[in-house]
Amino acid sequence: MANAFGATSTTDEVLDGVDLTGKRVLITGVSAGLGVETARALAAHGATVVGAARDLDKARKATAGIPGIELIELDLASLASVRKAADALNAKGDEFDLLINNAGVMACPQGKTADGFETQFGTNHLGHFVFANRIAGLLKSGGRLVSLSSAGHRFANVDLTDPNFETTPYAEFVAYGRAKTANALFAVEFDRRHKARGVRATAVHPGGIQTELGRHMSPELIQGMIDNIAKATPAGAAPFEWKTIPQGAATSVWAGVVAPADAVGGRYCEDCHVAEITGGGTEVLMRGGVQAYALDPENAKALWAKSEEMVGERF
């Protein structure tokens, strides 16, 4: 059953008994971590997987054990690369049952993408925004889009007046929060636009996992976050524990192929269930729930319009 899983469920447990033969899946960020595990699990159950990565040599090594995987070059920090990859897929014309926007960067020093966007917003949101919209026609009726957000969305709502920190002092986790909120809002609006033709979209929080995503974070910073979570943990509640990579990828595959489409469409999922809208700020980070602003339909529409303006393209 779709609700029989939880925080410790793994990809193999979630997909037990699921036959994906004949299904085609496209996953971004298949050179490490969650992307590789997601690809492995789906391929093991019969899906044909196309993996996108910036570094194809690294991706080839990381996915060497995945039978039949096809790799394409995609640098989300370059709209020229994004458009080239999308154009190639459209020219080929093969349809997909599932698109998982998995790739991302986290809490990096201030910088800009090739197009001059703040690195995290530009890579995590705008790159995927253009890529997914350009290939939206390849998603079959009955297909889904899964957008990887994060409990980090609690750090900040989107700021549509200053998305590139031109007037706002830059802070790594504020930028990350904005980008992860954008990932959730993108799913809300994409779902609204495509559900009439049978394509649904959902956002997921994979959980706290130690992968390459945290490479910009010092051990002291990571320990400080864990200490803060511990202080905010209610008496009697289970202490915070890192998820394994198979546990972290489980919510992506659950939302993508196991959960009922109507249950997850336009929603935010965590620990293999649909999250509840909750109050509280960063002090309850990783303890569950989603902020209302990350699912607000009007916020999602406004972000979509601003994103179109920034990339110079209407969808």
Q: How many DSSP H helices and E strands does the chain contain?
A: 11, 8
Please, what is the angle between helix 297-311 and helix 172-194, to 10°? 100
> Per-residue pLDDT averaged across 123-136, rounded?
98
Model confidence at 230, in pLDDT bands (50, 70, 90)? low
Query: What domain range includes position 66?
Result: 11-310
Please identify which of the residues 23, 31, 150, 180 carries the catalytic annotation: 180
Model confidence at 2, in pLDDT bands (50, 70, 90)? very low
Does a structural domain hold residue 234? yes
Model confidence at 241, in pLDDT bands (50, 70, 90)? confident
The per-residue pLDDT for 216 is 52
Model confidence at 165, in pLDDT bands (50, 70, 90)? very high
In this predicted model, what pLDDT tens digit does every residue of 250-304 receive, in sequence order? 999 999 999 999 999 999 999 999 999 987 655 445 568 999 999 999 999 999 9
In this predicted model, what pLDDT tens digit does every residue of 178-227 receive, in sequence order? 999 999 999 999 999 999 999 999 999 998 787 555 555 556 655 555 55
Does a structural domain hold residue 2? no
Does a structural domain hold residue 3? no
Higher-pLDDT residue of 246 and 228 is 246
Q: Count the alpha carbons within 13 Å of 309 in the hemisphere toward its beta carbon.
A: 9
Average pLDDT score over the chain: 91
With pLDDT > 90 as the criterion, what percentage of the chain qualifies?
Answer: 83
Does a structural domain hold residue 5? no
Does a structural domain hold residue 1? no
180 is catalytic: yes
The letter for the amino acid at 301 is K
CA–CA gap between residue 64 and residue 67 (Å, rounded): 8
pTM of the model: 0.91
Please identify which of the residues 78, 149, 150, 252 carries the catalytic annotation: 149
Does a structural domain hold residue 315? no
CA–CA gap between residue 241 and residue 8 (Å, rounded): 10
149 is catalytic: yes
Please identify which of the residues 9, 176, 252, 307 carries the catalytic annotation: 176
Please tell me the total count of domains within the chain.
1
Cβ neighbors of 259 (< 8 A, separation 6 or more) are 2, 269, 272, 274
In this predicted model, what pLDDT tens digit does every residue of 62-115 receive, in sequence order? 999 999 999 999 999 999 999 999 999 999 999 999 999 999 999 899 999 999
Q: Which CATH number do you get for residue 87?
A: 3.40.50.720
Alpha carbon of 38 to those of 30, 171, 242, 251: distances in Å? 8, 31, 18, 10
Q: Which H or E run includes 251?
A: helix 245-253
The per-residue pLDDT for 279 is 72
Does a structural domain hold residue 70? yes
The per-residue pLDDT for 288 is 81
31 is catalytic: no
The letter for the amino acid at 230 is A
φ and ψ of 118, to 5 deg: -55, 135
